[in-house]
Structure 1
Amino acid sequence: MPKEHRKRGKKKKPEPEWQPPVQEPRREQDIVPVEQPPAPTWIVPGEKKDDINPEAPFGYVDVDVKAYFRTVDVQIRDWQDTAADSGAGDDEPNEERRMFVLAALTEMGGKEKQLATDPDCSLVLERMTYSMDDFVRRVFVDSLMGSYDVLVKHRFASHVCQTLFTVASRTISREKRGVLPTVPESSEKGELRTLTQLIVDVCEELVPVFASLVMDPFASHVIRALLLLLSPSLVTSQETVRNAMRSKKSAAWKAKQGPLKSVFKEAEEGESTVKSPPEELTRAARKFVDVVRGELDGNETRALAADKVASPTLQMLLAAEADQQMTEDVDSLMDRVLVGLIASSRDDPTATPPMSDYLNTLLRDPTSSHLLETIVSRCPGPAFSILWATYFKGNLPRIASHPVANFVLAKAMERVDVTQLTEAATELQHAWGKIIQTSRTGVLRAAIDRAAILKGCGAKMTEAVAAAFEINTPEERNRLVACVLRLQSFQGFKATEEFKVQGAVLLQSLLRLSEPHNQPVIESLIALPMEEMLAMAHHPIGSRVLDALLDSATVPLKIKRQFVLFFIGSYHLLVDDRIGSRVGDRCWAFSDTYLKEKIARSLISQEQFLAGSYYGKFFARNLNLYLLQRRPDEWRTMQTDRSRSTAKPVAAPTSQAVEAIPGKERKKRKRDAGGDEIEELFGATMGKKVKKAALGETVEPESKVLLEASLDTGLADVMGAIRAAPSEGKTHGKRKGG
C-alpha cells in the first residue's frame, strides 16, 4: 500500500485553557468603606419570613404514611365501586368498614394539612370525606382552621376544600333540624363548634383576601362551592350548577378516579340539602358581596366579566346579590356591570339611556355572555324593560342568528310580557327559516315556552313554526312532526336524516301550548303511519315527544286515549325494544281499566311472542293474561285496585272495614245465574279454608301490607285472586245450602 503523504512543518501544540487570575484575599484594613445614600423615608423594611415551598407549604408527607394511604385509597375505591351491587342494611360489612375508616382517620390526625396538599393523598381525603359522619366532618374542618387562605389557593388542597364544602350542606341540614351527634366530653381539647359556626369562621378567615381569590385559578372554584353552600337557592339555576363544578379538564380527570360516595350500605337519611340556610350563612354571603363592592371599583368589576377565571365567580356573586335583594342598592355589582342602568331605571323608569359598547361586547363574547344571561334573568323588572328596549328590540334578527348572542336572547325571552313577545314574533317573522337552517332553535323554543306560560300569542307561535319549516298546505301539515324532528324544511325533507334533540324539544314545547294551538302537532302525530310511529317510539330522542303528549296538561283527554288505542294490534312490536317498552309502560300507566282490557285482549294471541321477547316479557307481567282469560271480573277488580294504590297508597282494610263498604256488601249478596256443580262444591270448600286462613280477624292489617310489599308482581296477583275467593265461596255455600 502506498505511504500516506504528510504535510511538512512542525506539529502545533495545543494551547492551554484560559485560567482566571488568582487574586489574593484582601485584608480588612485595605477595604475602604463606601458611604451608602440614606434610604427614602417611605420605604418600610418588611418582616423576614422563612422560605415557604409553594408545592408543600405545610411540609411533605412521610413515605410510609403515603404508602399506607395508597392502600386506603384502593380499599375505599373498591367498596365504592361495589356499594350499589351489594344489599343494604347488612350490619357486618358496615361495622368492618367503620373500623377501617376509623383507623384511617386516626392515622390522619395531625397530618391533615400535609395530606391535603399532597398530589396523591388529596384524592384519598376527598374519598374519605363522603364516608365521614357529622362529628368527624366537624373535626376535619376544625383541624384546617387558620390555613384556609393558603389551602384554597393550592393546586390539590383546593379540591379537598371544594369537596368538603359540598358535603357540608348535608350536615348543616341536619343541624338545622336539631339532629346533632353525641360529642365525647374532653376537657383538654375544649368545646367543638357546630359545622354551621365553623363555616362562618371559615368565611371570616377568607374575608381579607376574598377579592383576590375571585381571580385565582385554583381558588375560584372553591369560592363558587362556598357560595352555593351559603345560598342553596343558587342551585335552581342550571348555569350556576355548571359554573360551580370543576373545569372540563379537571372533571375529565376526576371521572377516571371512580365514583365518590359513602362506603356504607345503609340508606342515607336526611342527605338532602337545606333550601333555606341558617341566618348566619345568609349574613356571610351578604358580607362577601359587600367586600367585593368595597375593594373593587366599577372599572375593576366590569373587567372581571371578560376574565375566564373570574367571570363565573362574578356571575354567582351577582346571583347571590339578587337573592339578598341587594341589586337596587346604590352602586351595586349588577348596576356596575350594567353601566348605571339600574340607577337610571330607579330614577326615571321611562328614560332611555344611550347604548353602551361594553354591554354590546358582553352580548357577543363567548365568556362574558354567560354573565349577561344571569343579569337578564335576575335584574329588576324596570331595568329589564329598558335593557330589552335598548339592546334587543330592533336587532332581534341579527341577535337570534348570532352563534353566541342567541343564548342571551333566549334567556331574555323567558321574561318578556305579552306585548314584547308579540312584537318579537313580528320582528322575527322572516328570520325563522334562517335560524332553523343554522340549528339555533333556542330563541324559538324559549318564545314557545313563554307563550305557553302566558297563555297568549299561541297563534303567533304556530305561524312562526309554519314559516320556519315552510309548511302551508294540509298535506305539508301532516309532515310537520317529521320535519321538525329532523330540523328540515318541507322542501328539503329527507327521511334518511337522523332525529335531532333540538327538534324533539321544539315539539315538546309546542305540545304544551294551549288548545287549539297545539292541534297541528297532534294531528301530524296521529297521521303518521304505524311504521314511522314505531320507529319514533323506539328512538331515544323521538320517544320523548310521545311522553310529552301523555304528560301535557293542555292535550285533551280524548286525544290521549286515541293515541293509546293507536297501537292496538302492534303493542307486541312496540314493547319489543328497550325504548319502546318504556313507551308501552307509559301508555299502560295512563290507561284506565277499560283501555287496559282492550290492550291486554289484543295481546292474547301474541302471548308466546311476548314471552320470548327480552323486553316484552317485562311488559307481559303487567297484563296477567292468564287471569284475564279465566276470571275477567277478578282481573278488572285487580287493575282498578292497582290504579287506586298507584294514585294514593292506602292501608289494607280489615275484615270489619270490608263489611262496612256498601260495594263489598252488594258483592257478597250477589247470586250467580249458573255454574258447574263440581266448581261450586270445591269453591265452597276452598272458600271456607281461605276465609279462615287469609281473612281471619287475627291477622293484623299492617302485616298484610308488609306481606304484599315483599311479594313480587306475580305472587301479588295470586294473593289478590285468593283474597277474592272467600266471597265466592260464601256465595256458593249459601246456594248449596238453599
Structure 2
Amino acid sequence: MPKELRKRGKKKKPEPEWQPPVQEPVHEPPPKETPSWIVSAPKPEDQEDVNPEAPFGYVEVDVKAYFRTVDIQIRDWQNTTADATGDEDSDPNEERRMFFVAALTEMGGKEKQLATDPDCSLILERMSYSMDDFVRRVFVDSLIGSYDVLVKHRFASHVCQTLFTVAAQTVSREHRSTLTLAPETRAFYQRFPESSDKGELRTLTQLIIDVCEELLPVFPSLVMNPFASHVIRALLLLLSPNLATSQETAQHTMRSKKSAAWKAKQGPLKSVFNDSQGSGADAVDHAPPEVFTHAACKFVEALRSALGDNETRALAADKVASPTLQMLLAVEADQQMTEDPDSLMDRVLVGLVSASREPPASAPVQSDYLNTLLRDPTSSHLLETIVSRCPAPAFSILWATYFKNNLPRIASHPVANFVLAKAAQLREACAELHNVWPKQSRTGVLRAAIDRAAALKACGSEIIEAVLSAFRIESAEERTLLVPCMLRLQTLPEYTAAKSDEPKVQGAVLLQSLLRLPEPHNQLVSDSLNSLSPEDILNIAHHAISSRVLDALLDSPTVPLKAKRQFVLSFLGRYHLLVDDRIGSRVGDRCWAFCDTYLKEKIARSLIPHESFLAASFYGKFFARNLNLYLLQRRPDEWRTMQTERSRPAESTAVAVSAPPAPAENKKGKRKREGGDEIDALFGAALGKKVRKAALVEPAPAKAQPEPKAKSLPSPASEDAGLADVLGAIRAAPEGSGKAHGKRKGR
C-alpha cells in the first residue's frame, strides 16, 4: 500500500459536544418572620368574589333589552306632551301609567343590578322623574343597606344623585301632607299580600335619615371620592335647601363639566305625565324638617372628629373635596356652629375665629397657607365662601391681615381679584385703589364696588371718582364720552386714538351697574347717552351687547323719569330707522311700552310720513301694528282712548278671567235633565233664533183670539223643541214675516 502523505502543521482536535451549563444553587435569604402583632384581617365570605364593576351581579340580557325599549318609549314621551284632547271620561295619561307600571313590575328585585349597569342606570334616572311619591319611597327603600357601595360606583352614583334631587318634591309634599299616588300604582302594590317579614313602608323623610345614618361612618372617605362627592353635595342640598340660594355653592351642586355635557346629550329628563304626579310642579322651596337639620349637623361633626387640622386644610386644595368642604362650611355657618371650638372654619382660617374671641394682644402673623388659598384657582372658591360666611370679628382680622395695604397686587391678580370682589370693604377699597384704577385691566373688583354701593346706597361719590379715574376722564366735556369708552373698555386716550373696537360684555355690565346707583350718581350715564350723536345712539341700539344698556336705563327704578323721557324723545324722527333692525325693534318696543298716551301720539305722528317704509321693513312692520296709524288719522279721539285702555291695568278683565267656567259634569247633567237630542237641540237653537227674528215683523195677535198652535214658534230652550217642529213652524209662518229684500228687487 502506498504510504499516506501527511501535512505539516498542528493537528486539529475534535470539538467537544455541547452540554447545558451547570447552574449553581442560589442561596435565598431565609424569609423574615412576621411580627406577632400583625394579623391579617379575615375576608368576608360575601365579598370574596365581588366584581367592582358589578358588585350586585350583572343584568340579564333579556331584561336589558326590555329596558332599552322602555327607554326609547320614555324618550319619545318626554320629547312630546300628552294629548289632552279626547273624550271627557278618558284619561290622556292612562296608557302611559299602565306602561310605567309594567316597567316597575319588571324592575322589582333588580334595582341594584340595574343601577350599576352602564346602560340601565340612565334609564332609572329617566324613570325617577316620572315616579309618584309612593314609588319613590319604594325605590329608595329597596336600596337601603347598599348606599355605601352605590354612591362610590361609577354609574350608580348618578342614580343616587338624581334620586336625592327629585326626592325634594316628595319631602315637600310630605311636609304639607299632600302625597300623590297614581290609581294604577296603588292597584299594583295592593296585589301583593302583606306578610310578617315586610314591615310598614316608611316615609321618604325617614328613609333619607336612614340613608344619612348609613353613610355617616364612611362620610370622610366619601368627601374625597371622585364619584361619591357629587352625591354628597346633592344630599346636603336636600338636607339644607337654602344652600341653593347662595351663589358660592349653587355652581357646585351640579355634576362635573364632563358628566353634565354627556347628560345634556341624553335629551330632556322630565315627567312623562301632564298632571302633578311626579312632575315637579310643586315648589321645592320649603322649610326642611328639623330632623334634616340635625342630619346635616352630624355630617359636619363627623368630619370634625375624623380629620385633623392639617387634613382639613388639605381638602381645600383638592379638586374633588374642595366643593364639598365649601358646602359643609356653609352648613356650619347656617347652623351657627362656626364659633364652636375647633370648627371647620377655624381650622381653615388657621385659628382666626378663635383669635377673634380673645383680647387683641397683637396682630396675628400672616399664614402662607391662606396666601396660597387666595391665589389658587381651586381653593379661591372656598375662600370666597369663607369671607362671606365667617363672623364679623374674624373677618375684620382677616381683612386687616391679608387684604389691607395689599389691594393693588390682589386686584391685579387673575385669581385673587375674585376673592377681593367678595370681601372688599367699600370705603377702604376705594381709598386704597384710587391711584391704581387706571392700571387695572380686570373689571371684577370695580363692578363689585359699584354693586355694593348700589345695594348700600352709600359711597356714590367715591365710586364715580373711581370710574372716572379708571377711564382717565377729567373734565366735564370728557364725561360725555364715558359710555363709548366704557363699552369698549378703553381709556379716553385709547378711544380717541382708535374707534374700531366692538362693545364688550364687561363694559356693558359696568354701565348697567352704574345705572342702578342712586340719584344723582346715575346721571353720569344718562347725560353721556343723551349727548351722543344720532348715528352713535343708533349703533348702540342696533348692537346685541350695547342695547342692554338702553334696557337698563328704562328699567332702573333709580333713574329719574325726566331722564327716561328725554331718552325716548331722542329717537323722535328716527324711530323708523331704529325699528328697522332685529335688535333695534326690541328697543323700540321697550320705548313704546314705557311711554304714556301723550308720548305715544308724538311718536306715532312722527311716523306717519314713514308709514310705507315701516310696511316694507321686515322688522318695522311688527312695530307698526302697535301704532294703528290709520285709526290715528281718521279718529284720533278713539285712538287715544284705545291707547289709554291698553296702558291701564285691566282690573275688570282680571276679575272676569279669574271666574272659573262651569264644570263639565254640570253641563253634562243639564243635558240629561233636558232629555233632548244634542244635534236637535243645536239645530233647533240656531233655526229658532232666525224664526224669532222674523216673528218680530208680524203684528201681535189679538188678545181675544189666541194664536194657533201651528203658527207659534218654538223657543230654543224649550224641552220638546225638535228639528221637525222648527221646520214646520217656518213653513206655517206668514209671507210678510220674512226679510224685506224681495220688495227692493222689483224696484
TM-score bucket of the superposed structures, by smaller chain: 0.7 to 0.9
Q: 1:173-221: CA deviations, max 9, x gaps?
A: 2222221124665523442222222111111111111111000010001
Separation in 1 of the partners of 2:450 and 2:57?
A: 59
Separation in 2 of the partners of 1:321 and 1:577?
A: 53
Pairwise CA distance, 1:271: 3.0
Q: Give the counterpart letter for 1:322 in structure 2.
A: A
Match of 1:132 in 2: 131
**Structure 2 counterpart of 1:424, from 411, 420, 429:** 429
Pairwise CA distance, 1:431: 1.4
Pairwise CA distance, 1:577: 3.1
Is 1:46 equivalent to 2:48 in the alignment?
Answer: no
Give the 3 Å change call, closer, same or farther, for CA 612–191 of structure 1 in structure 2: farther
Pairwise CA distance, 1:550: 1.3
Q: Secondary structure at the match of 1:581?
A: helix
**Structure 1 counterpart of 2:194, from 181, 187, 197:** 187
Match of 1:534 in 2: 538
Match of 1:98 in 2: 97
The answer to whether the 8 A contact 1:173-1:270 is kept is no
Separation in 1 of the partners of 2:652 and 2:403?
A: 48
Structure 1: give runs of 5+ residues left out of the alignment.
Answer: 1-8, 21-33, 655-688, 690-738
Structure-to-structure mapping, 1:421-570, within 5 angstroms: 421-435=426-440, 438=441, 440-493=442-495, 494-570=498-574
Q: Which moved more, 1:477-486 or 1:248-257?
A: 248-257
Pairwise CA distance, 1:576: 3.2
Pairwise CA distance, 1:649: 6.8
Structure-to-structure mapping, 1:680-719, within 5 angstroms: none
Is 1:212 equivalent to 2:221 in the alignment?
Answer: yes
Q: Secondary structure at the match of 2:74?
A: helix
Structure-to-structure mapping, 1:42-81, within 5 angstroms: 43=39, 45-49=41-45, 50-81=48-79
Is 1:201 equivalent to 2:201 in the alignment?
Answer: no
Identity of aligned residues (%): 72
Q: Secondary structure at the match of 1:58?
A: coil
Give the 3 Å change call, closer, same or farther, for CA 110–434 of structure 1 in structure 2: same
Q: Give the counterpart letter for 2:50 in structure 1.
A: I
Separation in 2 of the partners of 1:276 and 1:612?
A: 56
Q: Give the counterpart letter for 2:135 in structure 1.
A: V
Q: 1:43-71: CA deviations, max 9, x gaps?
A: 26424332211101111111111122222
Q: Give the counterpart letter for 1:297 in structure 2.
A: G
The answer to whether the 8 A contact 1:69-1:121 is kept is yes
Q: 1:313-366: CA deviations, max 9, x gaps?
A: 000100111111111111111111011111111223686322111111100111
Q: Give the counterpart letter for 1:61 in structure 2.
A: V
Q: 1:567-615: CA deviations, max 9, x gaps?
A: 2223333333333333222222222222223233333344444444444
Match of 1:410 in 2: 421
Pairwise CA distance, 1:650: 3.5
Q: Which moved more, 1:182-191 or 1:512-521?
A: 182-191
Separation in 1 of the partners of 2:92 and 2:448?
A: 51
Q: Give the counterpart letter for 2:173 in structure 1.
A: R
Separation in 2 of the partners of 1:624 and 1:172?
A: 53
Is 1:381 equivalent to 2:392 in the alignment?
Answer: yes
Give the 3 Å change call, closer, same or farther, for CA 605–139 of structure 1 in structure 2: farther
Separation in 2 of the partners of 1:19 and 1:192?
A: 77
The answer to whether the 8 A contact 2:169-2:280 is kept is no
Structure-to-structure mapping, 1:164-175, within 5 angstroms: 164-175=163-174
Give the 3 Å change call, closer, same or farther, for CA 559–36 of structure 1 in structure 2: closer
Separation in 2 of the partners of 1:269 and 1:158?
A: 22
Give the 3 Å change call, closer, same or farther, for CA 38–307 of structure 1 in structure 2: closer
Pairwise CA distance, 1:244: 1.3
Match of 1:590 in 2: 594
Give the 3 Å change call, closer, same or farther, for CA 207–648 of structure 1 in structure 2: farther
Q: Secondary structure at the match of 1:131?
A: coil
Separation in 2 of the partners of 1:571 and 1:16?
A: 108
TM-score, normalised to structure 2's length?
Answer: 0.78
Root-mean-square deviation (CA), in Å?
Answer: 2.9
Pairwise CA distance, 1:368: 0.5
Pairwise CA distance, 1:37: 6.6
Q: Give the counterpart letter for 1:434 in structure 2.
A: K
Give the 3 Å change call, closer, same or farther, for CA 522–88 of structure 1 in structure 2: farther
Give the 3 Å change call, closer, same or farther, for CA 313–269 of structure 1 in structure 2: closer
Pairwise CA distance, 1:467: 1.2
Match of 1:152 in 2: 151
Separation in 1 of the partners of 2:637 and 2:31?
A: 115
Structure-to-structure mapping, 1:167-316, within 5 angstroms: 167-182=166-181, 187-188=194-195, 189-266=198-275, 268=279, 270-316=281-327
Separation in 2 of the partners of 1:294 and 1:137?
A: 33
The answer to whether the 8 A contact 2:83-2:92 is kept is no
Q: Give the counterpart letter for 2:205 in structure 1.
A: T
Give the 3 Å change call, closer, same or farther, for CA 601–75 of structure 1 in structure 2: farther
The answer to whether the 8 A contact 1:210-1:288 is kept is yes
Q: 1:86-121: CA deviations, max 9, x gaps?
A: 776777653333233222222222111111111111
Give the 3 Å change call, closer, same or farther, for CA 615–320 of structure 1 in structure 2: farther
Pairwise CA distance, 1:514: 1.7
Pairwise CA distance, 1:653: 11
Separation in 2 of the partners of 1:350 and 1:535?
A: 61
Structure 2: give runs of 5+ residues left out of the alignment.
Answer: 1-11, 24-29, 659-692, 694-747
Pairwise CA distance, 1:496: 1.9
Separation in 2 of the partners of 1:515 and 1:648?
A: 37
Pairwise CA distance, 1:474: 3.3
Separation in 2 of the partners of 1:616 and 1:82?
A: 34
Give the 3 Å change call, closer, same or farther, for CA 429–194 of structure 1 in structure 2: same
Separation in 2 of the partners of 1:411 and 1:526?
A: 34
Give the 3 Å change call, closer, same or farther, for CA 634–144 of structure 1 in structure 2: farther
Give the 3 Å change call, closer, same or farther, for CA 35–378 of structure 1 in structure 2: closer
Q: 1:250-273: CA deviations, max 9, x gaps?
A: 122222222222223447574321
Match of 2:585 in 1: 581
Q: 1:236-292: CA deviations, max 9, x gaps?
A: 123312111111111222222222222234475743212421112111111111111
Q: Give the counterpart letter for 1:394 in structure 2.
A: N
Separation in 1 of the partners of 2:651 and 2:241?
A: 32
Give the 3 Å change call, closer, same or farther, for CA 452–354 of structure 1 in structure 2: same
The answer to whether the 8 A contact 1:537-1:574 is kept is yes
TM-score, normalised to structure 1's length?
Answer: 0.79
